[in-house]
Every structure is written in structure tokens, then in C-alpha cells.
Chains A and B, each alone.
Chain A
Amino acid sequence: MLDQFFFYIFAAVILLGGLLTITRRSAVHSAIFLIATLLGIAGLYLHLQAEFLAGVQVILYVGGIMVLFLFVIMLVNLDQAARQRQFNRQWWLALLAAAAVCGEALYGLYRGRGAFSFPGAMPGNVPPNTQAVGNALYQNYMLPFEVASIMLLVAMVGAVVMAKKRL
């Protein structure tokens, strides 16, 4: 009962945050609502007893990625962009496409409605999420983990090289 209540709260935060992100005029307001959405997702992770993921989600997404988003938003002069017309003239085509996608999504949900049930809290001794994630990463998914780290390193070095005026 409490489970469902918290699930709906987090879901509401996520959906509302997402909606408000795309409808705000000011980019900074959009970023703030995106932060709210990400915090809601962290809450969902907690709800699923994946506390490590929740902590890492907050540190990386909110504390790292959104901070950088805000850096860019604030340093680039976006006032002019905000003052432009928000909708272009082909809004009817966009509405048609959105309705089509929405219809497909609703159909998919209708077909799979049997899968909606709240699993209760996992019984017995749950291995702490940190250990579980660590074991998975270093035993089963070692190669993807290393590849991901190398990709991040390449991205970092590339960004530094592109940004420097003189090497």
C-alpha cells in the first residue's frame, strides 16, 4: 500500500517534471524541472531497492551533467532565442505525428496490460545493491565496462584538445 503510494508520487514528479521541462520559456526553468525529473528517477531506483544506483544517479546526473547543462545555458546568450516564436507553421503535421506515436504507445500498453503488477519487497536477505552492481560489472560485464571507460576517456581527451587554443 505504501509501496504504491510512493510509486505514484515519484511517477507524478517524473511526468510533471518532464512536461514542464518542455513547456517553459526560460531555459533555466527547463533545466530546473529536468533536475526534478532526474531526482524523481533516483527516487524510483530507491523504490526498487537499488540504492547504489539512486546515489550514483544523483551524483552523476544531477550533480555533474545538469550542472554542466546549466553552465552552457547560462554562458550562452539565450534571451534572443527565447523571444522567438515558440511554434512554427507546421504545427498540424507535428500534431499528427505525435498522435500517431501516442496511438501506437497506447496500443502497446493495452496489449501488455497483464504485466502490470507491483512486485512486493524482495523476500529474504537481499545482497546490498552496491555489492550486486560491483559483482555484475566486474564479473559478467567486464568487457563493456572497460569499453565504456575507454570511450569516456576518449571523449574527455577530445574535449580538452578541441577546447585548447594551443596544445
Chain B
Amino acid sequence: MADDLKHTTAEATFLDASEIVLNMGPQHPATHGVLRVILKLDGEKIIGTECVVGYLHRGVEKIGENRTYVQFNPYVDRLDYVASVSNGLGYCEAVEKLLNVTAPPRAQTVRVILTELNRIASHLIWLGTHALDIGAMTPLFYTFNQREDILKIYENYCGARLTTHAFRIGGLQYDLYEGFEQQVKKFCDELPAKVDEYEWLLTTNRIWVARTQGVGILTAEEAIDLGVTGPMLRASGVKWDIRKALPYENYAEFDFDIPTGKNGDTYDRYLVRLEEMRQARRIIQQAVERIPDGPIMAKVPKVVKPPAGEVYHSIEAPKGELGYFIVSDGGLQPYRLRIRPPSFVNLQALDRMVRGSLVADVVAVIGTTDIVLGEVDR
């Protein structure tokens, strides 16, 4: 498969052969960041793709080897900068596993609330940009408007909207502010009407259906073979969610469903993510009713020096399975810090999904993969 893409240069005179090489360059309105996709076309049909990533590579994993565990916490927000709270959750839990501590119940419940709000925020951005790529320019503004409410909650809680650094190793830094429960409840009350509005605008619109149904099909076997996780895997029919399969925090206490799709096309992924927003609301509503009292920070030493060993901990981030593999040699800084980004692995499936489609579908499929280049390139 790699051989026929050996000569992926962007120049080709288009009538010399029946195949053209087309470059969707790093600067591109529709690639959600600095992604370069080289397409090999036969007329309008795509016969091969190659993704060139690395334009946003910042050496985060190497930096991790030169920072203490506490110092590295803010770096983790900048991976999937659209959903930074879940990045922090995964990292803190991984280090807590190394240290063999668990966060106290109050901290766990608040973590769950903030992470599920984060899931909704990430899916809102996905919906707005995906619709914009396909041509519907209005849902973008509605979803960003709704996302503002979430960002206000984050700002009130920890002072930052985007790169929140909300969690600490062992629990939380800040306790809840006055009015947190009311703000969250208000958001949850307004959510169903707004998500219904997005559904009303798009789900039965025949143009939307024509652009997304049957486009970018990924079967369940292909998805599992490629290591795809998250809503993409669930839309292909595989009912796998780490929150249910290997529960972390206190997800086991909450009652929620895992939406799955049937065909694994773009339309199913759209429906799955919409339903996930509703299920996330369900979790938040249950959690906010029963935030236990108690400490917000476990007994963690001032200097975090985990014993030698390694741990791999993964969570269900909005985009898929976000994993942290940390090797500790007993020192102050990790020996190796490897991040398994869901977008990077999901991006592999782009080639499979797009072969045989038309060029115009590439934009829709990149949108439905929901990648964030900060995560892909680290």
C-alpha cells in the first residue's frame, strides 16, 4: 500500500496520465488544523491518500521526560486543546495509579461532572465545524454560543476557559464555587432544547443526509483492526466504551447508555455523537445531585516521586481512547511518558474510509473523524 504512494509529489500534468496527485496543504480551511493530505485521484475518485502530520509537533513527550510530574500537568491540556479537561483527567489518574492513591469521593464526582461537560463542549465544536465543512454555516454559531455557557463554568471554577489545568494529582486544587450546582443544572435544563434544535436543522434535511449517508463507511472489523476508538468505533456497531468496560473515577455509580450505530458511515457518527451529548447530560444530572462532602485532595506527598514501575491508563476522551503510558524510574521526572492520542489512531482510518469516494467527501470524512492536530502531533 505504501509503494503506490511513493511518488506523492504535488506536481503532475493532469492529462498525461489518468491519475492526478492533489495536495490538500497544511494551510486549509477544512482540515481542522495543520493537516496535510495528499490524494491520488483517478478523475474524481480517490484511489489513495497519505496524511502528512507533524506540522504541530512540539515534542511534548520529550518535554515530559524533563519535567516533574506536577510540572507536566499543564502541558497535557495543550494536547487536545478543544477538550483539555479530559486530558488532565487521564494524566492525573495515570500518575495516581503509579502512586497507588485514589482521589476522594468528592473530588471524583466533581471530576466526572467537569469531564462530562467537557465531552459536551468537544462535541459541540465538532458539530459546528463539521456542519460548516458540509456547507451549513449557521449551526456553528449556535453551538459556539452554547459552548460559552460551559466555558463560563470552567472560568468560574479554575480561572481558565480553554486550557483549564483543572485537576491535580490526587484530587482537585479548588473546591466548588458558590453557585456551581445552579449553573450546571441550568445548563443541563437548557441542553435538550438546543440539541433538539440541531437535530431539527440537520438530521432529516435531505441535503445533509445525501452528503453523510453512505459516506466514509468503516465496518466494525476494519475499525477494530485499525485500533479506532471512541464514537467512530461505536458508530460502526461495536459497543465499547471504557467508562463501562473498565470504569474509572466513579463512573460505575452512574446510569447511562452507550449509543451505537449500524452502518459506520458519517451519518451514524453524527447521530452517535449527538446522543452522547444527551447521555453526558444524564450523567451530569445524576452527579450534581449527589456531590458528597469531604476532602478534595488525597494524601499525596509534596514531592511526587513514584516508585519505579510503569503504568498504562486510558480514559474515554470525547474523541476516543486517550491513554497515558508512564514509566517511572523512581526519580522526580518520568523516564518515559507516552501518550496514546485517539485522533492520531483514528486518522489512520481516513485512507480506508475515503477510498473510492469523491474528492468532495474527503472534507466530510475529516470532519467526522473529529481530529485535533494538537493531539495528533503532540
Contact = CB atoms under 8 A, between A and B. Distances in A.
Q: Do chains A and B touch in the complex (CB under 8 A)?
A: yes
Nearest to B13: A77
Contacts of B13: 77
B15 interface: yes
A77 B15 CA distance: 8
A164 to B, nearest CB: 13
Interface in B5-33: 13, 15
Interface string B135-155: 000000000000000000000
Interface residues of B, number: 2
B42 to A, nearest CB: 11
Nearest to A77: B15
Interface in A69-107: 75-77
A59 B140 CA distance: 41
A157 to B, nearest CB: 23
Interface residues of A, number: 3
A77 B13 CA distance: 10
**Residues of B contacting A: mostly:** loop
Nearest to B16: A77
Contacts of A76: 15
Nearest to B43: A165
B12 to A, nearest CB: 13
A14 B15 CA distance: 35
Nearest to A76: B15
A75 B13 CA distance: 12
B15 to A, nearest CB: 6
Contacts of A75: 15
Contacts of B15: 75-77
A3 B15 CA distance: 50
Nearest to B15: A77
A114 to B, nearest CB: 56
A75 B15 CA distance: 9
Contacts of A77: 13, 15
Interface in B236-267: none
A40 to B, nearest CB: 34
A63 B96 CA distance: 73
A56 B135 CA distance: 37
Interface in B313-344: none
Interface string A53-77: 0000000000000000000000111
A76 B15 CA distance: 8
A154 B15 CA distance: 29
A75 B14 CA distance: 10
Interface string A130-159: 000000000000000000000000000000
A96 to B, nearest CB: 39
A66 B15 CA distance: 22
B16 to A, nearest CB: 9
A76 B14 CA distance: 10
A131 B13 CA distance: 52
A85 to B, nearest CB: 24
A77 B17 CA distance: 13
B98 to A, nearest CB: 60
Nearest to A75: B15
A76 B13 CA distance: 12
A159 B197 CA distance: 47
Nearest to A165: B43
A24 to B, nearest CB: 23
A58 to B, nearest CB: 32
B327 to A, nearest CB: 56
Interface string B331-359: 00000000000000000000000000000
A113 to B, nearest CB: 52
A4 B156 CA distance: 84
A106 B287 CA distance: 100
A100 to B, nearest CB: 41
A75 B43 CA distance: 13
B44 to A, nearest CB: 13
Interface in B75-127: none
A133 B13 CA distance: 49
A79 to B, nearest CB: 11
A77 to B, nearest CB: 6
A62 B13 CA distance: 30
A107 to B, nearest CB: 48
B18 to A, nearest CB: 11
B358 to A, nearest CB: 16
A134 to B, nearest CB: 39
A148 B15 CA distance: 35
For the complex of A and B, list the 4 residue pairs with the smallest distance between their C-beta atoms, beginning with the closest. Answer: A77-B15, A77-B13, A76-B15, A75-B15
Interface of A: 75-77
4 contacts: A75-B15, A76-B15, A77-B13, A77-B15
